[in-house]
Structure 1
Amino acid sequence: MPSPNDSVSSLLGSSPDSTVSPSLPLLPATPFSDLNEELYSKSGKEVLEHCLVQGLRPVASIVLASTKENLHDVARGNLDTNCMLFALHGPEVTVSNEVIVAGWAQVTLEDLEALDWLHSSIKGKPLLVAAMADLGSPTPFGELKSHFAKRNFNDLEILHHCLGLKAVEMKPSMSPNVANTRTIAQDLAKHSLLVCIDVEHYTLNSDEMTEIGVGVIDTEESAMVSHARQFGDHGQNLMQLAHYHHFRLIEKSHLLTTNVKSRGAEGNRFGKSRFVTFSEARDILQKILVQPITTVKALKGFNRPVVIMGHAIKNDCAHLNGKDLGFDIDGLGTIIRVIDTQQIAVDCKFWHHPTDPIGLRALVNKLEFDHTDAHTAANDAARTMICAILMAVPKQARKGCGRSVNEVARLVETYSQGASKALGGTAEYCSKCGSTTHVSKACNEKGLLHCDECVSRGLDELSMNHIPLHCPIVRDEVVAERHKWYDDQLWTPKYPFTSRNRLQTFAPNAPKVQPATPEEIAARRQHYDKQRNSRGAWEAFTWAGRSFDKSPQHEAGMPQGSHPISPKGPHKSAARSGPSDGISGLGRGGSSNASNSRGTSATRARGGIGRGRSRFLENTSNEDF
């Protein structure tokens, strides 16, 4: 009889330590990021029962050392395979290719009784089993996601479920296997999470993400409030169930708002602000959106189903998976539905223009509370959540209230700040020197720092005030390139601009941006040298090699679906209207009227009284070259 190592080696075609790569396509399943003590102590039969009940079948095994630590390491290292990982125990001498491949191909719960060795408790070396969803039988999570689809329930009905106002019931089935699966799915639905997300960007360049706001409501908690009919004034008790998080992205923390009507990231009013790197943000979002169920024995091994909500949420989801964060919520395997307050306003007949989506400020105003410090990520996420609750709660919850909606909203603000718990990052970060002990306003390092970017441009007077990561000159040059990119396209919608070939990207496995060529370095040095005696505002440098006229898109011509527009006047550098620590701080006067971030309102689709469309459109259906 072959040894375990021989069996596994022949299965995988390599050493036992190789990554499992079954030939069958893997379907999303709940991963074990941490094998709990109870599961680890089960016999092989019990583990396989757990596997089969969830509609999962083993497709390969790896022999491991006998320590739980090794088992945990492999489990964590294989999360990206979308496999379910199980600890399987038994006498190694009985393991063979036939058992692993043929034996598991058609195995049922009844068949397990005939495999005596599976009844053993922990003995010898454990095996790690990678299981995939069986194509022939539905999984509880798959059933739940299918049932929550738009064809069955509108966004308002899904919101009602998440707030415990009305449960989404699974349809009965005559098939015992399907009926059992749907029973588990129904139980899973009771443990859903409602996660509201908002993403914010630099005012002058919407390609650069600066903030993420998240609000989370636990359906188990909201159901208790709703079933007791203890809503409070205007649904205040439901509103106060939300936990808010405001994340400021360290690598882009120097990109402060230029909107005079907004304090940007400095104006957060919900939860507590934390500075995080893009890498930390990915880990935190993973923890929020992938939460194992640990309180219900029958559901251990499953993750909590998640309903994502936002205002124009499609754009936020796309930006989460953008060039710097690279976070794909669809790949998590926990998202059962995405809902939008723009659609909820239509579903509840609060807004009657389905082709002209209502903006967040307009929705807040119609619901009669203030949208102070708008365009701060956590503020927008929280106001989106508050709007959703106001539109969803029963009418009687909004009658005879002792407080106005605005008073309730302010109380929720204050309450959220005390209820907030940090999920990572730091409370302070300096976008000048990079310290985590103070913020930029309190930085005493001015004149003691060094920026190679400024030195290479001959701007020694600025080079000692910041580190290269937060160089304001590079910031302003990219803004100028972005505006010129759009001005040079004589049609609309336009090919979208991307900074990925100009600024370092921070998504996983992102290629390093190539350094500037000697020709570009010489040209930009000459550009700034010529302006030293200028009495007007300085112009930011733009490199012709990255212009639209030199791009593959220019060669392709006007995109399908676009139409010509009249040419504008000479291009003016957008950097003049930027913060005073950059190009605008070098000149002696003048400012352009270029503060509008072209393309931002079109991609966000969030502003105004309705105004889901903007006069300026990016052609987002065309891929960046």
Structure 2
Amino acid sequence: MDQISSQADALRYAIQSESSDFIINSIDVEWHTKMPREMIEIGLAVLDSRDIRGIEPGWNAENWMRKVYFYHFRIKEHGHLPNTFAHSEGFDWGTMVWLSKAEAKKALIQCFSWPVEDNESTDLSDGKELKLRPVLFLGHAVENNTAELKKALDLDLEAIGTIVKSVGTQVIAKLKGIRPRGRRVIGLKDLCYEHGISIQVLHNAGNDIAYTMFCALLMAAQEDKIFITPARRQEMEKFTDEVKAAGRALDPPSWGMTKFCARYNRDGHLEKGCRDRVRCKKCEAAGERKAKIFSHDTDRCKSQYYQRLIPQEN
């Protein structure tokens, strides 16, 4: 892999080479817009090169895209903090699950620790020495995401030792002559448009990473930039809807919970329709109206994120 110079070639090698045994992991994170900018979502897309070995990509990389697994994690500790740019619950490619920060860290470590032998567990907590498969780490802006994971989860993906190469779709797009519009680097929305992909909800970490993986596979499959016609856009939209529906039809991932109340910090039910009695001592001490005091638990108070002066408990 060292002799491969460009990121585009590295991605193509990991996907198409008969001698490669790569896992392609792609990650995106979303964080709350107010200080201290807590991580609220993680999006993960996983492609096993064994699943597409010897398979041609197809006209729209559809044969590869159908083999990708998509995940959307919301962080329990910060579930009460809104994603103001989009919809945290609007994951289109599968079933969203709630994880604690510790659970999210463990899940990501497992995804970067695939054993060479299929019958061995990815749980390394028992201290077993395993031979692990190489990982190509993919993102739209890889450095940003690795920095956020270090800060939020105390997780250094490089320290796991399986990442052979990190590649970014922004860099690959530049190498392929796909230019941004009035920006130094191309945004994900523009990159999708250049490939005929219609986007419905961005800034949802699960959706963002699905589109990132889609663009990466298209750029790996196509040597030259493709002229996008209205008919091709319709074809891409139909195929994208098919992949989304297939992802939603799968069972939820084994990690985390599908039901969690961010209002009360409890598993087993959703915030919508929650009738549990809650009371925020911080809002009560600050003299807030009753509707606000009884709308959330003390440890789910958002006032601290809006830099308001809240009296501290003794």
- The two structures have a TM-score, normalised by structure 2, of 0.86
User: 2:23 maps to what in 1?
Assistant: 193
**Which of 412, 416, 426 is equivalent to 2:243?**
412
Q: Does 1:329 pair with 2:157?
A: yes
* Cα displacement string for residues 349-380 of structure 1 (whole angstroms, at most 9, x for unaligned residues): 23379x81100011111111212110000100
Q: Does 1:255 pair with 2:107?
A: no
* Counterpart contact for 1:251–1:469, Cα < 8 Å: no
Match for 1:317: what amino acid?
T
* Counterpart contact for 2:43–2:205, Cα < 8 Å: yes
Match for 2:284: what amino acid?
V
Report the Cα offset of residue 250 of structure 1.
0.6
Match for 1:220: what amino acid?
R
Aligned residues: 300
* Counterpart contact for 1:244–1:420, Cα < 8 Å: no
* Counterpart contact for 2:34–2:305, Cα < 8 Å: no
User: 1:283 maps to what in 2?
Assistant: 106
* Counterpart contact for 2:24–2:49, Cα < 8 Å: yes
User: 1:134 maps to what in 2?
Assistant: none
**Which of 307, 310, 318 is equivalent to 2:147?**
318
* Cα displacement string for residues 67-89 of structure 1 (whole angstroms, at most 9, x for unaligned residues): xxxxxxxxxxxxxxxxxxxxxxx
The correspondence of residues 66-105 of structure 1 with structure 2, limited to 5 A, is: none
* Counterpart contact for 1:233–1:401, Cα < 8 Å: no
The correspondence of residues 132-531 of structure 1 with structure 2, limited to 5 A, is: 147-148=1-2, 152-164=4-16, 166=17, 190-205=20-35, 207-225=37-55, 229=56, 231-259=57-85, 262-263=86-87, 265-295=88-118, 301-322=130-151, 324-351=152-179, 356-394=184-222, 404-419=235-250, 421-445=252-276, 448-459=277-288, 461=290, 462-477=292-307, 521=312
Could you list the runs of 5+ residues in structure 2 that have no partner in the other structure? 121-128
Distance (Å, rounded) in 1 between the aligned partners of 2:211 and 2:202: 9
SS at match of 1:371: coil
Distance (Å, rounded) in 1 between the aligned partners of 2:22 and 2:222: 21
SS at match of 2:208: helix
User: 2:123 maps to what in 1?
Assistant: none
Distance (Å, rounded) in 1 between the aligned partners of 2:35 and 2:243: 32
SS at match of 1:441: coil
Report the Cα offset of residue 460 of structure 1.
6.3
Distance (Å, rounded) in 1 between the aligned partners of 2:306 and 2:158: 34
Shift of the 253–242 alpha-carbon distance from structure 1 to 2, 3 Å rule, reads same
SS at match of 1:321: helix
* Counterpart contact for 1:245–1:271, Cα < 8 Å: yes
Distance (Å, rounded) in 2 between the aligned partners of 1:387 and 1:412: 14
Bigger Cα Rg:
1
Shift of the 420–215 alpha-carbon distance from structure 1 to 2, 3 Å rule, reads farther
Distance (Å, rounded) in 1 between the aligned partners of 2:299 and 2:180: 47
* Counterpart contact for 2:26–2:45, Cα < 8 Å: yes
Report the Cα offset of residue 402 of structure 1.
11
* Counterpart contact for 2:198–2:233, Cα < 8 Å: no
* Cα displacement string for residues 464-508 of structure 1 (whole angstroms, at most 9, x for unaligned residues): 22112211222322xx69xxxxxxxxxxxxxxxxxxxxxxxxxxx
Shift of the 415–256 alpha-carbon distance from structure 1 to 2, 3 Å rule, reads same
Shift of the 205–271 alpha-carbon distance from structure 1 to 2, 3 Å rule, reads farther
Distance (Å, rounded) in 2 between the aligned partners of 1:383 and 1:465: 36
Shift of the 251–391 alpha-carbon distance from structure 1 to 2, 3 Å rule, reads same
SS at match of 1:246: strand
Report the Cα offset of residue 421 of structure 1.
4.4
Distance (Å, rounded) in 1 between the aligned partners of 2:99 and 2:118: 30
- The two structures have a TM-score, normalised by structure 1, of 0.45
Shift of the 301–425 alpha-carbon distance from structure 1 to 2, 3 Å rule, reads closer
Distance (Å, rounded) in 2 between the aligned partners of 1:206 and 1:244: 28
Match for 2:114: what amino acid?
Q
Shift of the 420–390 alpha-carbon distance from structure 1 to 2, 3 Å rule, reads farther
Structural RMSD (CA): 2.9
Higher RCO structure, 1 or 2 (CA under 8 Å, sep 6+): 2
Report the Cα offset of residue 256 of structure 1.
1.2
